[in-house]
Each structure stands twice: as C-alpha cells, then as structure tokens.
Amino acid sequence: MPPTREEANRTMIHTVLCGYGHMGKLIAQAIDSSDDMMICGILNHQSEMTLLKQHVDLLFDFSHPDNFELVERLVHRSNCALLMGTTGFNDIKYQRLCDLGETHRVMASANYSLAVAVMGKLVKQAAQLLREEFDMEIVELHHRDKQDAPSGTARQLLELLDPDQQYAALTGRNGMIGRRGKEIGIHAIRGGNAAGEHTVLFLGEDEKLTISHTAISRKIFVNGALRAAHWLLHQKNGFYTIEQMIGGN
C-alpha cells in the first residue's frame, strides 16, 4: 500500500522560510516541486509562536538583517538547521550567526551559485600568484531593487583578494585622487532586473586577467540553496560555507 499523507509528511524535510520576497518565493516554488521537502510556514512576528509548536528541520533565511533575532530564536528553540542567505550583517550580528554553529548546523553564504564558489577558488589562487605585481579591482552589477552595496559576494571576493586586510578597500573614487595606492576598488552598479554579475580584474603591465561570473536567472541560487540544504542536514553541528560543500577548506 502507498503511504498515507500523514506517513509521507513524517518522512519529509520540514522547512520554514524567513523572507517571502522574490528569492523566498522562488525557494518556495522549488520546495513545492520537490519530493522530499515541505514548507511549514513563513517566519515573522505573527507566526513565530505557531511555528515554535511545530517540528522544523531547516530554516531558510533570505530576508533582512533586522529579522535575525527571529531567526536566532527559532533555531535555538526548534533545534533546526539554518541556511543563511541574508547579507548586510554588522559585526556583532555576524558573530552571533557564527556562534549558532557551536550548537547547530549553520551554513551562510552571500551567493549559493556553485559556479561562484568555484570562481572564488580561482580568485584566491590568482591573488596569491599576482597580487604583488598586479592591481586588483572588483565590479558588481545587480538589479535596481538590491538593498546593500557592495554586494555580499563582492565582499567575499575582497576577502579572498586581501585576507590579511593589507589593502585599502575603496567603494568609490572621485576628484583629483592622485596616483593609485595600495588599494582595491569595489564598484557597485545598479539597474534593470540583472540577477547578478561579478568581475575581478588583475591589471598588470601590458596585460589584464579577468575572472567573471554572470547569473542569467536567480534560479541558480535556488538550485544551489536546495543542494546546500540537503548537504547541511547530513553534517554535524558547525558553521559551514558553500566552499566546504564543494570540497574547499
């Protein structure tokens, strides 16, 4: 006999979404189309107490840093895993997010594209080989509605270029700025409905190396997030990155 609806529900991965904007709706559609996940609800101040009474395996957060206290409480009280896609945290909240990994399974990434994760590995390797002789710049392009600038992915790329913070990070140049110093420029372009484009330039004497990624659709982030969610649920408690999932350090 086929399983009853109740039996099937017990074997499903019970998820909650925090944030029901464009990305949240795409994740919801993907979950609805999956055969092993179901949505228990959307986390907000009105639904929090109801969701705390339910079994939750995993919380997706693609919302806003202001919702972190809600997310933090649900993770602690439901003992669920957390897949974090929200960017723009201040240092204090980001440390609290990292601390959740001491007692829960947590993954945080500004970008869940697998190709962007590979791009990061290439950028890191190129920087190690070229940074002493080449100038480095980052350019990112996003849709008109994006809230933060530079993007979280651009900030991650900056960390890969300059892990020891030996360079000044400039988010704009204007006027008589003089000769370039020991700096990395980060340029944010906003407009249209662009899903996202990131480019790292290594500029040397008579040569230029460009490493670039273009997102044609936000579906790549959704596919990566669901893949990461399945991977995370098979890990021990800890704070993870998508680079670890694809075999990085």
Question: Given 142, 182, 208, 236, which residue is catalytic?
Answer: 142
Tell whether the torsion through CA atoms of 147, 151, 156 and 162 is positive or negative.
negative
Q: Are 105 and 81 in contact (CB under 8 A)?
A: yes
Q: Which two tokens mark 242?
A: 């998508």
Q: Is residue 58 within 8 Å of 81, Cβ to Cβ? A: yes
CB-based burial label for 247 (10 Å; 0-12, 13-18, 19+): exposed
Q: Please give the Cα distance from 196 to 137 (Å, whole number).
A: 17
Of 25, 121, 146, 230, catalytic: 146
Residue 43 C-alpha from the chain's centroid: 19
**Is 233 in contact with 98 (CB distance < 8 Å)?**
no
Q: Is 146 a catalytic residue?
A: yes
Tell me, yes or no, if 124 is annotated catalytic: no
Give catalytic residues, as residue numbers.
Answer: 142, 146
